[in-house]
Amino acid sequence: MAILMDGRATSAKVKEQVRQETEALKAAHGITPGLAVVIVGNDPASRVYVNNKKKACEAVGFQSFEYALPEDTTQAELLELVETLNADPKVNGILVQLPVPPQIDDKTIIHAISPDKDVDAFHPANVGKIMIGDYAFLPCTPAGVMELLDSVGVEVSGKRCVVIGRSNIVGKPMAMLLLHRSGTVTICHSRTQELAAITREADILVAAVGKANFVTADMVKEGAVVVDVGMDRLENGKLCGDVQFDEVSEKASYITPVPGGVGPMTVAMLMRNTLTAAKLQNHIQ
């Protein structure tokens, strides 16, 4: 039976570390990190995420600025708000909750956020820095996965790593972080042939495909480390991930649960990125 990689416990440690560093920053320099979260429309899942981020800000001692805009907000109006936040010294991190309504182009909005305040690390400038391994921020979910692997002492160097999914938010940066740790990385996707044969070679398997229970036990090598980035919902309303947890946990050495695995880590790493941004903008090591 696999050992659980506990995202709730690990994220609590990260947030406590951020809280302590934030107190020290306030005491030494009078600086309180500030995170601005922008939500456009009334998507229920987005609202849950925004509320979680606000609670996390309170827990670590940040200022939290929420901008809830109506569904019919124009792209020009959103860009104007982003420019205002870029210029506001109290705001160290800017996050526009995705998805945005169809009249708004998310790429245009991401490009408009100052790279120094892009705590999601989605701006092309930050993506490029991640590619060459010279970065200040990491995308929150892949960074959270690496933190979980570290929490249980999983060594990446020399291991065969397989990432299922090639999104800009998770799949691609996840592959780069594993590569930076000297893993031998394969990215699989919807056009991959003989997928199960490839995943069965993985010492570390990361599933980020967005399909409930997609990864079955016959796709997993005995003793593999399995990270489930998915957050799916079954017909009965129950939350699950991309991995068939019950059967895969019988073969894996380590596995993340859903919920309580990667999800809490994403918010914790957002807090760490915002603290880093505040220090960099104020020229503090």
pLDDT in tens, 97-115: 999 999 999 999 999 999 9
Give me the chain's average pLDDT, please.
96
pLDDT confidence bin for 165, thresholds 50/70/90: very high
Any idea which residues carry the catalytic annotation? 53, 97, 120
Write down the residue that tokens 């970065």 correspond to.
135
Instruction: Summarize the confidence of residues 180-197 as an average pLDDT.
Output: 98
d(CA 91, CA 64): 9
H helix intervals, 152-261? 171-180, 195-199, 245-248
* CB distance 121 to 177 below 8 Å: no
Q: Are residues 147 and 254 in the same domain?
A: yes
- Residue with the bigger pLDDT between 109 and 232: it is 109
77-104 core/surface letters (b: 16 or more CB in 10 A; e: else):
ebeebbeebeeeeebbbbbbbbebbeeb
pLDDT at 232: 87
Pairing of strands 254-255, 160-164: unpaired
First to last CA, the chain: 43
Distance of CA 284 to the CA centre of its chain: 25
Instruction: Summarize the confidence of residues 256-283 as an average pLDDT.
Output: 97
**Is 90 exceeded by the pLDDT of residue 233?**
no
Of 88, 118, 148, which residue sits at a domain end?
A: 118
**Is 90 exceeded by the pLDDT of residue 19?**
yes
Instruction: Summarize the confidence of residues 109-128 as an average pLDDT.
Output: 97
pLDDT at 33: 98
**235-251, pLDDT tens digit by residue?**
888 889 999 999 999 99
Say which CATH number the domain at 167 has: 3.40.50.720
d(CA 88, CA 81): 11
Q: Are residues 39 and 103 in the same domain?
A: yes
For 245, phi then psi, to 5°, come to -60, -50
Q: Are residues 107 and 148 in the same domain?
A: no
pLDDT at 86: 98
pLDDT at 234: 83
Strands across the sheet containing 93-96: 63-69, 34-40, 93-96
Assigned domain for 104 exists? yes
pLDDT at 105: 97
Assigned domain for 273 exists? no
Assigned domain for 36 exists? yes
Assigned domain for 279 exists? no
Q: Are residues 34 and 147 in the same domain?
A: no
Of 86, 40, 34, whose CA–CA distance to 61 is shortest? 34
Q: Are residues 155 and 84 in the same domain?
A: no
**64-110, pLDDT tens digit by residue?**
999 999 999 999 999 999 999 999 999 999 999 999 999 999 999 99
pLDDT confidence bin for 43, thresholds 50/70/90: confident
Assigned domain for 3 exists? no
**Is 90 exceeded by the pLDDT of residue 134?**
yes
**191-221, pLDDT tens digit by residue?**
999 999 999 999 999 999 999 999 999 999 9
Q: Are residues 92 and 202 in the same domain?
A: no
**Is 90 exceeded by the pLDDT of residue 154?**
yes
Domain count, the chain: 2
Domain of 82, in residue numbers: 29-118
